[in-house]
Amino acid sequence: MTINNSMMKNQSGLALISVLLIFAIVAVLAGAMIERQSLDIQRSGNLQALQQARAYSSGIEYAVRSGLRMDYDNNPDVDHPEEEWAKPHTYPLQPGTAEIQIIDAQSRFNLNGLHKTATDRPAQIQRFKNLLDELGLEQAIADHTQKFMDEDSQVDNDYLSAEVPYRASYNLFKHPSELLLVQGVDAETYRKLIPYITALPVKAALNVNTASNKVLAALSSTWSLSEADAVIGNRGDKGFATVDDFWGLSEVQPFTGSSGSNSGSTSNSGNNNQNTKEVWDKADFSVNSQYFEVFAKVTLADRIATIEMLIYRDDQTGEMRTYYRDYSRTEARLPVTNTPSSGTNNNSSTTNGSGGI
């Protein structure tokens, strides 16, 4: 009888332990399920907010097009930095904000001017060297860049020997960030260059109404920032009305040739503009623009969506199309100030926009 009672007590103890073990397992599983459900809810909220922010960023494209169309209807012949499109705009959302920055892509040096199809390629190569020198960078980057774009240079071995081998593109640039693939260009070099470079069709002209003093100074080996600042001072707040107004400046006259020749030859001898043999091509310059870089940042419920676009606006019809959309950029490639620099560095107002680096 005593043995039976002992066995029953042992069995009751084992049953209690089993029940407690089952409850412990259920509690762990329930906790894991609750945690996973919480993560799923948070993930769904993040995805919904991100998709909503992305929808806003897509809508911004149509708003920008409308603004650029209004600018075209107001005055299709002149674009300058004091126009409404060139100012940064911030719009309230619920809850959050939408920030929009439109930048004249033709205010920068066009890297595709180094391509062999460019009619004034030697002049553009020299201008890129001038810009590199102005920024304290190696002029050899200009030679490496034009070879990277030219299959006749046969520079593949320079890139196939890299730690991660690749080939030269031998093609036009689609985006200025492709410059990072060129020999001699590292992240720091690119950061210095991004406010001043772009990648547009070869024939895209430089808008002298929006170009910074460093880009203008790079037009000639004999120019310094003081000549570029004089040009900026002469264009005033409203810009040049025509290219002829720019062409007639005393600083520009030495480069126009006796009949506005379009020779692309350059010479580095001497610092006196009156003695230079450089002759500029008038077709390289404009006072209005067809290409606009747009950067939009949408902050919505602590979620951020960004988009960079290149928009083309036909200067004859005002019709627009988008060349590319890039959702990977984290910062705008902000332009430099266009205010004359009093003979000092004119880059004080630039950001360190990384362009996605």
Quick: pLDDT tens for 81-93: 999 999 999 999 8
Q: How far apart are CA 126 and CA 143, in angstroms?
A: 10
Average pLDDT over every residue of 185-191 = 95
pLDDT in tens, 165-180: 999 999 999 999 999 9
Which of 3-12, 62-71, 155-164, 174-183 shows the lowest mean pLDDT across its residues?
A: 3-12
pLDDT of residue 93: 85
- Sign of the Cα pseudo-torsion (63, 66, 72, 75, in order): negative
Closest by Cα among 279, 278, 256 to 269: 278
> Residue 65: pLDDT above 90?
yes
Closest by Cα among 81, 20, 29, 30 to 232: 81
Q: How confident is the model at residue 277 (pLDDT cuts 50, 70, 90)?
A: confident
Average pLDDT over every residue of 220-229 = 94
pLDDT of residue 9: 59
> Residue 259: pLDDT above 70?
no
Average pLDDT over every residue of 43-67 = 80
Residue 229 backbone dihedrals phi, psi, to 5 degrees = -65, -35
pLDDT of residue 331: 73
Q: How confident is the model at residue 339 (pLDDT cuts 50, 70, 90)?
A: very low
Domain spans in the chain, listed from the N-terminal domain onward: 1-357
pLDDT of residue 347: 40
Q: Which residues contact residue 233 at a Cβ distance below 8 angstroms, ignoring those fewer than 6 apart?
A: 340
- Tell me the β-bridge partners of 91: 98
Q: Mean pLDDT across the chain, nearest whole number?
A: 84
- Tell me the β-bridge partners of 299: 97, 304
pLDDT of residue 343: 41
Full-model pTM: 0.78
> Residue 274: pLDDT above 70?
no
> Residue 247: pLDDT above 80?
yes
Q: Which residues contact residue 2 at a Cβ distance below 8 angstroms, ignoring those fewer than 6 apart?
A: none
pLDDT in tens, 309-327: 999 999 999 999 999 998 8
Average pLDDT over every residue of 138-165 = 94
- Looking from the CA of 119 toward its CB, the CA atoms found within 13 Å total 10
Within 10 Å of residue 82's Cβ, how many Cβ atoms? 12
Output the DSSP codes for 191-235.
Answer: HHHTTTEE---TTPPEETTT--HHHHHTT-TT--HHHHHHHHHHH
Q: How far apart are CA 115 and CA 148, in angstroms?
A: 9
> Residue 137: pLDDT above 60?
yes
Q: How far apart are CA 128 and CA 88, in angstroms?
A: 29
157, 182, 192, 217, 226 from 185: Cα distances, Å: 17, 6, 11, 22, 28
pLDDT of residue 345: 42
Within 10 Å of residue 331's Cβ, how many Cβ atoms? 18
